[in-house]
């Protein structure tokens, strides 16, 4: 099953959510995901589960990683809190709320 949607926040921030779920056994699991965080028309960062087995810096929580500026396409960091077995969306929401909170 594929799930897609968007969550909208203040100041033009939105999250594009894409997950592929499987229910071969219960409980269901996330088989693949992509979460893109946008501010207006600028993609500011994103998470995905595309494997990068030859990048030692990403092995801590392989294949979960976050693309971060600068050069977000090639600049990746381990995504310690992402998982295939627990919902990731609450973590993304919390991260955005922190991003939007007054400093």
Residue 100 CB neighbour total at 10 angstroms: 12
User: How far is Cα 103 from Cα 101, in angstroms, rounded to an integer?
Assistant: 6
Average pLDDT over residues 29-56: 93
Is 10's pLDDT higher than 90? yes
Per-chain mean pLDDT for the chain: 93
Distance, CA of 8 to CA of 15 (rounded, Å): 7
Read off the pTM: 0.91
Reported confidence tier of residue 24, pLDDT bands at 50, 70, 90: confident
- Torsion angle of C-alpha atoms 89, 72, 56, 79, degrees rounded to 10: -10
Residue 88: DSSP 8-state: S
Cβ-in-10-Å burial (0-12, 13-18, 19+) of 71 comes to exposed
């Amino acid at each position: 099953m594929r799930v897609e949607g968007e969550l909208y926040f203040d100041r033009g921030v939105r999250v594009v959510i894409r997950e592929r779920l499987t229910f071969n056994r219960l409980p269901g699991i996330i088989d693949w995901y992509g979460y893109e965080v946008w501010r207006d028309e600028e993609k500011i960062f994103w998470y995905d589960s595309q494997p990068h087995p030859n990048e030692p810096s990403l092995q801590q929580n392989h294949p979960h990683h976050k693309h971060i500026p600068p050069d977000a396409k090639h600049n990746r960091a381990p995504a310690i809190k992402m998982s295939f077995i627990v919902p990731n969306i609450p973590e993304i929401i919390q991260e955005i709320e922190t991003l939007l909170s007054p400093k």
